[in-house]
Chain A
Amino acid sequence: KAGVTQTPRYLIKTRGQQVTLSCSPISGHRSVSWYQQTPGQGLQFLFEYFSETQRNKGNFPGRFSGRQFSNSRSEMNVSTLELGDSALYLCASSWKTGGDTEAFFGQGTRLTVV
């Protein structure tokens, strides 16, 4: 069974630009969560989507948004990029929402803002 797939793996953007990252969950999984990972802050929860609806949201500004499609694939968008947005963005899929179930992670997208 294929794992969680994130594209692209690496991305370099300029301040002020916007970026869209993609995540394809494991087949049959309907929950996709997004995380930002930086050396100083560790893994920070961005948001979770389940059945095309945002179920949970972390403490990130409105520049960070996401969506989920009917096939459970999810995209994350960051507008007006700042240098501090440079990070590894990870998505994780689960077969259900509500916690208490294993979340499988993708390899991540390394975003560098210059």
Chain B
Amino acid sequence: GESVGLHLPTLSVQEGDNSIINCAYSNSASDYFIWYKQESGKGPQFIIDIRSNMDKRQGQRVTVLLNKTVKHLSLQIAATQPGDSAVYFCAENGFTSGTYKYIFGTGTRLKVLA
């Protein structure tokens, strides 16, 4: 079925290092993308979004890169901290099958090593 995929199911990084989480999306018509963070026992939390007319957007310690040519999205976290340990989802949104809807990836678990 429709899906947004992730290349790495689990990513382990040393505290202080930079993290890069990758995502491949399936719908070339998607024009809005979000990264969510989900900690254990909680709902997904918005991190950063990007629209298809941009290829890079920066937030606080996070950067999202969008490559529409290869339908690839990445989330970069600078100076990774223990509190960054969570599952990260990418999501695409666009007009598909006659309607707008979000399609989420299965998630990448980020483990920060002390």
Measuring CB to CB, which residues of chain A are less than 8 angstroms from any residue of chain B? 4, 33, 35, 41-43, 45, 48, 55-56, 58-59, 90, 92, 97-108
Contacts and interface: CB of A to CB of B under 8 A. Distances in A.
B63 interface: no
Contacts, number: 60
A100 B93 contact: yes
B102 A33 contact: yes
Contact of A105 (B41, B45, B99): B45
Interface of B: 1, 31-32, 34, 36, 41-46, 49, 51, 89, 91, 93-95, 99-107
* B interface, over-half SS: strand
A100 B31 contact: yes
A42 B100 contact: no
Contact of B101 (A4, A99, A104): A99
The 5 closest A-B pairs by CB, nearest first: A105-B43, A99-B100, A42-B106, A43-B104, A99-B93
A102 B105 CA distance: 16
B43 A45 contact: no
A90 B102 CA distance: 13
Given A100-B93, A104-B46, A105-B44, A58 B101 contact: yes
24 contacts: A41-B106, A42-B89, A42-B104, A42-B105, A42-B106, A42-B107, A45-B101, A45-B104, A48-B101, A56-B99, A92-B44, A99-B94, A99-B102, A100-B51, A100-B100, A101-B32, A102-B46, A102-B49, A103-B34, A103-B46, A105-B43, A107-B41, A108-B42, A108-B43
